[in-house]
């Protein structure tokens, strides 16, 4: 019988919750391999996400939809090899959580084969039962609301979500329902800053934003956007490498700016 011991100083679900209670912003970033993961860990990132964004920035696709569970397990194992402190979160790719039991099987692979500490899945109220089942199985979950890249064809493109009163109210209700089902974290992508701030204020669990203003409990960016090598930079991103001199310095600046709420600027 083996006993798992936590790495010293390791970020956990509980420590992220404590950061929200203490008002200390959470700094997160994507990574897809061991070398960048090690660099992010050393720079002080709290959460490293193996995102299905790898379908675009690593595989060169136009969407995240072709990414497989095997792809995610492989890259998550690579990233785990580079981490010592940061919490490892992994996306469940398109159609890998179509039912609660399918989600449990695929999320279980992330934890068992890659030593992930949390999975992230896209979707609102329709995912309540899935989040509840994952929670029952002891699998930490991050719920992803707002712009959901896996639904790009249904949404008609990569657009800001929750701009009208009805959709904003529905998003807040979904966030509360997912929290009640057991979600440990909520990620908001491309929603109005005022709505993101309202969601963060009403939830007990941390709310991480991307393109959603400065009122969230933390921020996340795609690594390739943050170092200016993406083919198409989103308007909310910043090239932290431009004036930093090294990628390590760029990531250290990113962490400091998130902690001080200098990034993103304004609401």
pLDDT per residue as tens digits for the range 194-241: 999 999 999 999 999 999 999 999 999 999 999 999 988 899 999 999
Residue 236 lies in a domain: yes
pLDDT at 58: 96
Q: Does the pLDDT value for residue 7 go beyond 70? A: no
Residue 266 lies in a domain: no
Q: Does the pLDDT value for residue 156 go beyond 80? A: no
pLDDT at 182: 98
Q: Is-catalytic flag, 189?
A: yes
pLDDT at 18: 98
CA distances from 259 to 28, 84, 264 (A): 11, 20, 11
Strand, helix or coil at 143?
Answer: strand
Maximum pairwise Cα distance, the chain:
55
Residue 68 lies in a domain: yes
Q: Give 31's contacts (C-beta < 8 A, 6+ positions apart).
A: 37, 40, 48, 49, 50, 79, 82, 223
Q: Name the token pair of 47.
A: 């959460």
Confidence of residue 9 (pLDDT cuts 50, 70, 90): confident
Chain position carrying tokens 């007990």: 204
Q: Does the pLDDT value for residue 173 go beyond 90? A: yes
pLDDT at 265: 83
CA distances from 240 to 35, 214, 255, 256 (A): 18, 17, 10, 11
Confidence of residue 266 (pLDDT cuts 50, 70, 90): low
Residue 264 lies in a domain: no
Residue 4 lies in a domain: no
Average predicted confidence (pLDDT) for the chain: 94
The contacts found for 68-75 with CB under 8 angstroms, 24 or more apart, are: 68/93, 69/93, 69/96, 69/106, 69/109, 72/96, 72/110, 73/109, 73/110, 73/113, 73/114, 75/32, 75/33, 75/50
Domain count along the chain: 1
Q: Tens of pLDDT along 38-88?
A: 999 999 999 999 999 999 999 999 999 999 999 999 999 999 999 999 999
Q: Tens of pLDDT along 84-97?
A: 999 999 999 999 99
Give yes or no for a contact between 143 and 183, defined as CB atoms under 8 angstroms apart: yes
Q: Could you tell me which residues are beta bridge partners of residue 219?
A: 27, 209
Kindly report the pTM of this predicted structure: 0.94
Residue 187 lies in a domain: yes
Q: Does the pLDDT value for residue 158 go beyond 90? A: no
- Provide the percentage of residues in the chain whose pLDDT is more than 90: 89
pLDDT at 267: 44
Which of 153-157, 218-222, 249-253 is the least confident region?
Answer: 153-157
pLDDT at 2: 35
Q: Which of 122, 179, 189, 197 is catalytic?
A: 189
pLDDT at 263: 97
Q: b/e for 9-26, b at 16 or more Cβ within 10 A?
A: eebebeebbebbeeeebb
The enclosing domain of 33 has a CATH number of 3.20.20.60
Distance from C-alpha of 237 to C-alpha of 30, rounded to nearest angstrom: 13
Residue 249 lies in a domain: yes
pLDDT at 159: 80
Distance from C-alpha of 223 to C-alpha of 94, rounded to nearest angstrom: 21
**Nearest of 92, 88, 120 to residue 106 by alpha carbon:** 92
Q: Does the pLDDT value for residue 1 go beyond 50? A: no
* Positive or negative torsion for Cα 235, 190, 156, 129: positive
pLDDT at 101: 98
Q: Which domain holds residue 72?
A: 13-259
Residue 8 lies in a domain: no
pLDDT at 8: 52
């Amino acid at each position: 019988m083996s006993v798992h011991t936590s790495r010293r100083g390791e970020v956990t679900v509980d420590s992220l919750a404590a950061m929200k209670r203490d008002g200390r912003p959470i700094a997160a970033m994507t990574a897809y391999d061991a070398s960048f993961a090690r660099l992010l860990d050393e720079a002080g990132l709290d959460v490293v996400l193996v995102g299905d964004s790898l379908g675009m920035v690593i595989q060169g696709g136009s969407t995240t939809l072709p990414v497989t569970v095997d792809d995610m397990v492989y890259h998550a194992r690579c990233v785990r090899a580079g981490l010592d402190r940061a919490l490892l979160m992994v996306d469940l790719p398109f159609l890998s959580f179509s039912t609660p039991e399918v989600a449990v099987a695929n999320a279980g692979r992330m934890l068992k084969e890659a030593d992930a500490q949390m999975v992230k899945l896209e979707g609102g109220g329709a995912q309540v039962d899935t989040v509840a089942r994952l929670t029952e199985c002891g699998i930490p979950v991050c719920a992803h609301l707002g712009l959901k890249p896996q639904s790009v064809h249904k949404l008609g493109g990569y657009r800001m979500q929750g701009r009208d009163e009805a959709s904003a109210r529905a998003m807040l209700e979904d966030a509360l329902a997912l929290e009640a089902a057991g979600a440990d974290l909520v990620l908001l992508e491309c929603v109005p800053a005022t709505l993101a701030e309202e969601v963060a204020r009403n939830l007990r669990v941390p709310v991480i934003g991307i393109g959603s203003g400065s009122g969230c409990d933390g921020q996340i960016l795609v690594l390739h956007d943050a170092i200016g090598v993406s083919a198409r930079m989103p308007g909310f991103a910043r090239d932290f490498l431009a004036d930093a001199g090294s990628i390590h310095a760029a990531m250290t600046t990113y962490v400091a700016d998130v902690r001080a709420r200098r990034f993103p600027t304004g609401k």
